[in-house]
Amino acid sequence: GENVEQHPSTLSVQEGDSAVIKCTYSDSASNYFPWYKQELGKRPQLIIDIRSNVGEKKDQRIAVTLNKTAKHFSLHITETQPEDSAVYFCAASPQEAGTALIFGKGTTLSVSS
Amino acid sequence: ETGVTQTPRHLVMGMTNKKSLKCEQHLGHNAMYWYKQSAKKPLELMFVYSLEERVENNSVPSRFSPECPNSSHLFLHLHTLQPEDSALYLCASSQSESGGEQYFGPGTRLTVT
């Protein structure tokens, strides 16, 4: 089955710097790759996603890139702000029906001002 | 409250008790999920239901028993739990079970004493 590895587990940056979180997946048939943000004490919420027919997607300060050949995808946050501090989860969706998202173990991002 | 709701938000139970967690989605989705979130294994998928049928059971112990009476409601029945079952239990829903954005509920913080 699908396996998703996420790195780093913790990331500390200064306000205004960029942050990059990387994930690799094992199932070449996976076709949907979302990123979720979970603030302390709150539920995970989707921030951006990408499908396998697209190499890059951007939404204001966040972007996701996908390399299907290498089977890895990354989250890029530019001009980080303290409110970006949270746990970020990547996930992959295997193509076969009846299988839900497989999540990475999460990255705790801390943005200091 | 709209979206995905969960009750109770907090639950403390003894190892011999029987309790149930409830999830309700108001989004017209066809798939619902139970996740266990703990410090050691963040966002661990437990069960997947699609159109009220269980389509996935990720080797979850029988002391956890899910029930999906209709596409809007999902229950997790608990009995003879262990202290290591203490965690945040998150419910989620999506349009279908084969990929796509999942909407999470606020979770039930369970403590087994």
CA B76 to CA B15: how far, in whole Å?
16
Which chain B residues touch A87 with a CB distance below 8 Å?
42
B47 membership: H or E segment, kind and range? strand B44-50
Average pLDDT over residues A68-85: 97
How much of chain B exceeds pLDDT 70, in percent? 96
Tokens 């997947």, residue located: B48
CA B18 to CA A86: how far, in whole Å?
34
The confidence band for A52, taking pLDDT boundaries of 50, 70 and 90, is confident
Q: Mutate which of A25, A33, A39, A103 to test chain B, going by most B C-beta atoms within 10 A?
A: A103
A52: buried, middle or exposed (CB in 10 Å: 19+, 13-18, 0-12)? middle
Whether residue B43 and residue A32 make contact (CB cut-off 8 A), yes or no, is no
Average pLDDT over residues A24-47: 93
- Check whether B1 has a pLDDT greater than 60: no
CA-based nearest distance A53→chain B, Å: 15
Whether residue A45 and residue B104 make contact (CB cut-off 8 A), yes or no, is yes
Which chain A residues touch B60 with a CB distance below 8 Å?
none
Q: Are A18 and A80 in contact (CB under 8 A)?
A: yes
pLDDT at residue number A40 = 92
pLDDT at residue number A19 = 98
pLDDT at residue number A61 = 97
A73 Cα distance to chain centroid: 7
Average pLDDT over residues B90-110: 88
Which A-chain residues 85-104 have CB contacts (< 8 A) with chain B? 87, 89, 93, 95-103
pLDDT digits (tens, 9 = 90+) for B32-70: 999 999 987 778 889 989 887 887 777 899 999 999 999
Q: Are A1 and A68 in contact (CB under 8 A)?
A: no
pLDDT at residue number A95 = 59
- Check whether B104 has a pLDDT greater than 80: yes
Whether residue A32 and residue B99 make contact (CB cut-off 8 A), yes or no, is yes
Q: Are A92 and A101 in contact (CB under 8 A)?
A: yes
A86 Cα distance to chain centroid: 12
Which chain A residues touch B99 with a CB distance below 8 Å?
31-32, 93, 95, 101
Average pLDDT over residues A45-58: 91
How much of chain B exceeds pLDDT 90, in percent? 69
Which B-chain residues 67-86 have CB contacts (< 8 A) with chain A? none
pLDDT at residue number A97 = 46
Tokens 């509920």, residue located: B105
